[in-house]
Structure 1
Amino acid sequence: MASFVSHLTVDCSDAYLLSEWWKPVLGYQDVPDDPNLPGHDECMIVDPEGKGVTVLFIEVPESKSVKNRLHLDLRPREGARDPELDRLLAHGATVVADRRGQYGPGTGWVTLADPEGNEFCILRSSAEVAEQPAPAGAADA
């Protein structure tokens, strides 16, 4: 017997605001017939196409104090990594580490943080990977 991932839970200080921030990042929406509202201490967002992992934001009293041990690696659904990076920065993400070119020209990723400091990475799109595969051993394959 094995288990499957039901949803990803993100501890936060404001579940509603963080769920609202992440919806346009992922292209997600509230659960149909169960909208997230200001003041909710649990807010869930889902992929409208039913393909992505569901994300649940839960308010906790502790603030984030160290690097995440688990984070999301995102690929642009369309286009390329760098325009998506620009979109995320304009949306309020901050750069934690820039690893573009780490494995040669056109490779790598950028580690970002959401408004509450939760890290996530933006990788090259699938089309970019197909055009110029990363060298053996590179994480952004």
Structure 2
Amino acid sequence: MVSFISHTTIDCADAFSLSNWWKPVLGYTDIEGDPNEAGDEECVIHDPETGHRLLFIEVPDAAAAKRRCGKNRLHLDLRPRDRTRDQELEALLAHGATTVEDLRGKYGPGTGWVVLADPEGNEFCILRSEAEATH
């Protein structure tokens, strides 16, 4: 049995706002011919290079659902394409992400990651860039 991942779904309170928040973070765009609009209950964005899609779906009381489950059971680990981890962290914080836990240096100098949250509290991690990870 073999399947492939069609898209990754993120439950949220405001699909349009959250999809717009994530677009510049990942370099994703709306799908041609299927623009996301204010008030849409489902919004899809995709990576124009790989085709990976994120689907944001409005669900009733997403915050209560998260409290019942505790920590996110699935989260994104981001690796900067053209900056260092710390430069990307600075940009993400300026964009509105919040720090959940700073684990830089966890395994010695120059190691680790930072756990962040998007505007709706969905956690994600910012890792070291590939250049930093190989040194």
Give the equivalent residue in structure 1 for 2:60.
61
Higher-helix-fraction structure = 2
Q: Distance in 2 between matches of 1:52 and 1:117?
A: 26
Decide whether aligned partners of structure 1 residues 52 and 76 sit closer, same or farther in structure 2, where only a CA change above 3 A counts. Answer: farther
- 1:80-120 alpha-carbon deviations (Å, 9 max, x no partner): 10000000000000000000000000000000000000000
Give the equivalent residue in structure 1 for 2:74.
70
Give the equivalent residue in structure 2 for 1:138.
none
3-state secondary structure, aligned to 1:22: helix
Q: Distance in 2 between matches of 1:23 and 1:7?
A: 15
Tell me whether 1:93 sits opposite 2:92 in the alignment: no
Q: TM-score, normalised by structure 2?
A: 0.94
What stretches of structure 2 of length at least 5 have no aligned partner? none
What stretches of structure 1 of length at least 5 have no aligned partner? 132-141
Q: Distance in 2 between matches of 1:46 and 1:115?
A: 20
Q: Distance in 1 between matches of 2:56 and 2:83?
A: 28
Decide whether aligned partners of structure 1 residues 117 and 109 sit closer, same or farther in structure 2, where only a CA change above 3 A counts. Answer: same
- 1:25-66 alpha-carbon deviations (Å, 9 max, x no partner): 0011001111000000000000011x2631000000022223
The one-letter amino acid of 1:79's match is R
Of residues 105, 121, 134 in structure 2, which corresponds to 1:130? 134
Q: TM-score, normalised by structure 1?
A: 0.90
Decide whether aligned partners of structure 1 residues 79 and 52 sit closer, same or farther in structure 2, where only a CA change above 3 A counts. Answer: farther
**Share of identical aligned residues, percent?**
68
- 1:2-26 alpha-carbon deviations (Å, 9 max, x no partner): 1111100000000000000000000
Q: Distance in 1 between matches of 2:10 and 2:62?
A: 12
Q: Distance in 1 between matches of 2:89 and 2:4?
A: 30
The one-letter amino acid of 1:97's match is E
Aligned length: 130
Q: Which runs of 4+ in 1 moved over 3 A?
A: none
Q: Distance in 1 between matches of 2:82 and 2:120?
A: 26
